[in-house]
Amino acid sequence: MKVGIIGLPNAGKSTLFNALTKSNAPAENFPFCTIEPNQGVVKVPDERVDVLSQMYQPKKTTYTTVNFVDIAGLVKNASKGEGLGNMFLSHIRQMNACAHVIRCYEDENIAHVLDKIDPIEDIEIIHYELILADIDVLERRIIKTQKAVKSGDKAQSDILSVMEKIKDCLLNGNMANKCALTEEETKIAETLDLLTLKPFMYIANVAEDEAHIDSELFVKLRDYLKEYDPQAPIIKISAKIEQELSAFDEDEKAIYLKELGFDSPGLDKIISAGYKLLDLVTFFTVGQDEVKAWTITKGTKAPKAAGKIHSDIERGFIRAEVTDIDKLLEAGGEAKAREMGYTRIEGKEYVVDDGDVVYFRFNV
């Protein structure tokens, strides 16, 4: 599961990516610096893991992870092949969600493709390119599908009407993820490989000295997004500060943050929001050896979830003993939870839920 960091050149994508992954992808004042996308695995902060770890004092504590990908800057007319055009779009296509970085910092030493800082125009350029690319995909498929419908293929007519509905939405300037689709229609839409159907979040990259205030540019952006995409998370950060902070250890970080007048860095917010966008389910396994968070897609049944841990457990699956994390914490331990009737015995058909603490019984 991947979250793609997208945005115009010099928005601060690579700087943010470096901070997120503490790696050293080149961040340069050069529009097409990033060509092959860099990928990084990032630990997802989760308070639930923290409390379980406090309770069990295990030898090892393992959080889930999310992959962030630093995708090169998209430019105007990318959908027509401009800049590194279609290649970027094809990178975005492989992502499960997008984190759109928007430049809200002024710095005359750092070039801007439009020679002025206007977050709304920046955002519209990217949306426009993605929307155009999707219209292009749809138009070609609609022609093919129309032929299939004419020749009497009934299943294709459902697909056709979903495509036309989405195309209307795109022509009105909206992303496909804002198109009101039924559950059935959404299932069809997900097979169409559209860029703007992916979930989006927005990251306002503000100047170092504006990270703790709401600057004029930030407010402008926030008001625009509240109107355009009310559900999407908006996170304000200073990529530069985050990058500096990422080099520090925890104690140094705390001192530096205090000096700057912040309470917490923005990275955790970005990671959590990115993970949330992916709409995954997290379950936990606990014990003296290890407390661990696992990630599965929604609707995963118990044996398959067990297979994440080890293929033997999936193969020899007998049952899952499931306790809701809140109940486990309330009881203060597994034995007590069992005694209080909080632990359920679940079989092969059980769909693992977010926050389940699971013990798998198996036999091979």
Ligand X SMILES: Nc1nc2c(ncn2[C@@H]2O[C@H](COP(=O)(O)OP(=O)(O)O)[C@@H](O)[C@H]2O)c(=O)[nH]1
Q: Which is nearer to Mg ion, 32 or 248 (CB)?
A: 32
Q: Are 308 and 296 in contact (CB under 8 A)?
A: yes
Nearest to 231 by CA among 264, 194, 199, 196: 199
Residue 13 or 178 with smaller CB distance to Mg ion: 13
Check: CB of residue 60 under 8 Å from CB of residue 77.
Answer: no
Shortest distance in whole angstroms from residue 237 CB to Mg ion:
16
- Residue 341: count other Cβ atoms within 10 Å of its Cβ: 9
Residue with smaller CB distance to ligand X, 107 or 158: 107
> Smaller CB distance to Mg ion: residue 38 or 177?
38
Only segment of 27-35, 118-126, 199-207, 255-263 that touches Mg ion (CB under 5 A): 27-35
Q: How far is the CB of 133 from Mg ion (least distance, A)?
A: 20
What phi and psi values does residue 219 have, to the nearest 5 degrees?
Answer: -60, -40
CB atoms within 10 A of CB 298: 11
By CB under 5 A, which span of 28-36, 151-159, 185-193, 253-261 interacts with Mg ion?
28-36
Q: Which residues contact 253 (CB under 8 A, 6 or more apart)?
A: 245, 265
Q: How far is the CB of 261 from Mg ion (least distance, A)?
A: 29
Instruction: Report 131-190 residues binding Mg ion (CB under 5 A).
Output: none
Q: Which residues contact 313 (CB under 8 A, 6 or more apart)?
A: 306, 307, 360, 362
9 binds, among Mg ion, ligand X, none (CB under 5 to 8 A by kind): ligand X
β-bridge partners, 140: none
359's enclosing H/E stretch is strand 356-362
Phi, psi of 83 (to 5 degrees): 65, -130
Q: Which is nearer to ligand X, 9 or 40 (CB)?
A: 9
Cβ 109 to ligand X shortest distance, Å: 8
Interacting residue ranges for ligand X, rule: CB under 6 A: 7, 9-15, 27-29, 33-34, 73, 105, 107, 110, 205, 207, 238-240
Which of ligand X, Mg ion, none interacts with 119 (beta carbon under 5 to 8 A by kind)? none
Residue 233 and residue 201 in contact, taking contact as beta carbons nearer than 8 Å = yes
Q: How far apart are CA 15 and CA 238, in angstroms?
A: 10
Of 21 and 34, CB closest to Mg ion: 34
- In the complex, what is the shortest distance from the CB of residue 64 to ligand X, in angstroms, rounded to a whole number? 26
* Residue found under tokens 């939870």: 337
CA angle 97–101–110, rounded 5-degree value: 150
196 binds Mg ion (CB under 5 A): no
The answer to whether the beta carbons of residues 38 and 69 sit under 8 Å apart is yes
Convert residues 5-24 into a mask of x (bound to Mg ion by CB under 5 A) and - (unbound).
--------xx----------
Q: Considering only residues 29-48, where is the footprint of Mg ion by CB under 5 A?
A: 34
Q: How far is the CB of 27 from Mg ion (least distance, A)?
A: 6
Residue 238 interaction partner, one of Mg ion, ligand X, none, beta carbon < 5-8 Å per kind: ligand X
**Which is nearer to ligand X, 3 or 337 (by Cβ)?**
3
- Which residues contact Mg ion by CB under 5 A? 13-14, 34
